[in-house]
């Protein structure tokens, strides 16, 4: 990854030619119009939550650094991103160390910029029991890697994140506080109702143990009463060894797991291998880490996840 100084120099050199990292969320090169409030988000779910809180309030532009089709795990900042950062009035991140490499850069480049980490109000889940860190990691690194950052994949936790975003927007734009608070209440109410539907579906399921592709759905499992019996990839992009996969297959059989879940962002191959070994069916759940840059995309995708979960757990059997 380029250093901060190199990025800033590169941004100055290429700015006249335009931004290399254009995306459909708006903002172009991050040029700020007179009187405009510029809100910059890290990636898709944070953008969606912020966009819903802003609603139709005039004079507020909500932009995103990481395009909707990319997740934050392997993203590298570009000179165009530095232009967006330079023009932002509020920076909205997920937090829980997921996008820390970006927020660290922003703090150095813009020391006075208001930054809100939306998941700060969430009670975090530790991933230590899944071997998410290595014994050789430093104590600080073990702490960071041991925190599950995927709170956004649970509608109930997403509602908490929305509330924090609304508070930050009200701080930087007091004149719009009433609008932000109303929009946040309305949106959070829909997310809370969605969370209740997930909980009801899990309660009706005869079997509540699942295996997920990553630890993306640990917060959803905690909020609904499901048990994640295992994950296929404990570290994104790092496939398990054959022995690890065999042990997971044995656990699936012994624990009477109800379903194995893949994610649309990754190949279902390993999930299908486990299914062939255990006879447990594979279904697809989307954590909404990537997708369409649309304000209602999170709700639509989570409603689809809800129907998939009902079918997978036998709470709503397919005809």
What ranges do the domains of the chain cover?
4-190, 194-313
What gap in Å lies between CA 274 and CA 72, rounded to an integer?
A: 27
Report the CATH architecture of 4-190: 3-Layer(aba) Sandwich (3.40)
List phi, psi (to 5°) of 65: -80, -55
Which pTM was predicted? Answer: 0.85
Residue with tokens 């508070």: 167
- Neighbouring C-beta atoms of residue 194, cutoff 10 Å: 21
pLDDT-derived band at 31 (thresholds 50, 70, 90) equals: low
pLDDT for the residue numbered 12: 30
**Cβ neighbours of residue 43 under 8 Å, at least 6 residues apart?**
64, 65, 66, 70, 71, 72, 75, 94, 99, 289, 290
Among 60-64, 100-104, 184-188, 250-254, the range scoring the smallest mean pLDDT is 100-104
Q: Who contacts 174 (Cβ-Cβ below 8 Å, separation ≥6)?
A: none
Characterize 20-58 residue by residue with b for buried, 16 or more Cβ atoms within 10 angstroms of its Cβ, and e for exposed.
ebebebebebbebeeeebbbbbbbbbbbbbbbbbbbeee
Average pLDDT over residues 285-314: 97
Give, for 180, the enclosing helix (H) or strand (E).
helix 177-204
4-190 and 194-313 in the same fold: yes
Phi and psi angles of residue 60, each rounded to the nearest 5 degrees, phi first: -120, 120
Long-range contacts of residues 24-27, Cβ cutoff 8 Å, at least 24 apart: 24/67, 24/68, 24/293, 25/62, 25/63, 25/64, 25/67, 25/68, 25/293, 26/61, 26/62, 26/63, 27/61, 27/63, 27/64, 27/84
Classify 229 as helix, strand or coil: strand
pLDDT, mean over the chain: 86
Q: pLDDT for 123-157, tens place per residue?
A: 999 865 443 333 334 334 434 557 899 999 999 99
Measured distance CA(164)–CA(187) in Å, rounded: 13
Q: What is the pLDDT of residue 27?
A: 40
The CATH code belonging to domain 194-313 is: 3.40.50.1980
Whether the per-residue pLDDT at 19 is higher than 50: the answer is no
- pLDDT digit string, tens, across residues 67-105: 999 988 778 899 999 999 999 999 999 999 999 999 999
Q: Is the pLDDT of residue 26 over 60?
A: no
Both tokens of residue 114? 């208001």
Q: What is the DSSP letter of 241?
A: P
């Amino acid at each position: 990854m380029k250093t901060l100084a190199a990025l800033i120099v590169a941004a100055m050199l290429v700015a006249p030619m335009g931004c290399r990292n254009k995306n459909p969320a708006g903002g172009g090169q991050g040029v700020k119009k007179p009187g405009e409030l510029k809100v910059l988000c890290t990636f898709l779910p944070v953008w969606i939550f912020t966009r819903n809180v802003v609603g139709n309030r005039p004079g507020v532009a909500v932009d995103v650094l990481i395009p909707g089709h990319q997740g934050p795990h392997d993203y590298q900042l570009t000179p165009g991103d530095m232009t967006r950062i330079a023009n932002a009035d509020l920076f909205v991140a997920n937090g829980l160390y997921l996008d820390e490499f970006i927020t660290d850069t922003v703090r150095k480049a813009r020391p006075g910029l208001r930054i809100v980490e939306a998941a700060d109000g969430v009670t975090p889940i530790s991933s230590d029991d899944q071997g998410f860190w290595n014994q050789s990691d430093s104590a600080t690194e073990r702490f960071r890697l041991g925190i599950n950052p995927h709170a956004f994949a649970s509608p109930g936790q997403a509602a908490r994140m929305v509330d924090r975003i609304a508070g930050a927007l009200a701080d930087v734009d007091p004149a719009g506080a009433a609008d932000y608070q109303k929009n946040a209440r309305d949106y959070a109410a829909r997310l809370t109702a969605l969370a209740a539907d997930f909980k009801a579906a899990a309660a009706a399921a005869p079997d509540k143990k699942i295996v997920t592709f990553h630890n993306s759905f640990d917060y959803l499992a905690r909020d609904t009463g499901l048990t994640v019996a295992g994950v296929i990839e404990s570290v994104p992009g790092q496939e398990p060894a054959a022995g690890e996969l065999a042990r997971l297959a044995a656990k699936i059989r012994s624990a009477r797991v109800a379903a194995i879940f893949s994610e649309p962002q990754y190949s279902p191959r390993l999930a299908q291998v486990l299914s062939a070994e255990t006879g447990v069916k594979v279904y697809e759940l989307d954590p909404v880490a990537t997708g369409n840059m649309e304000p209602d995309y999170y709700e639509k995708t989570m409603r689809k996840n809800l129907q998939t979960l009902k079918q997978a757990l036998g709470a709503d059997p397919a005809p």
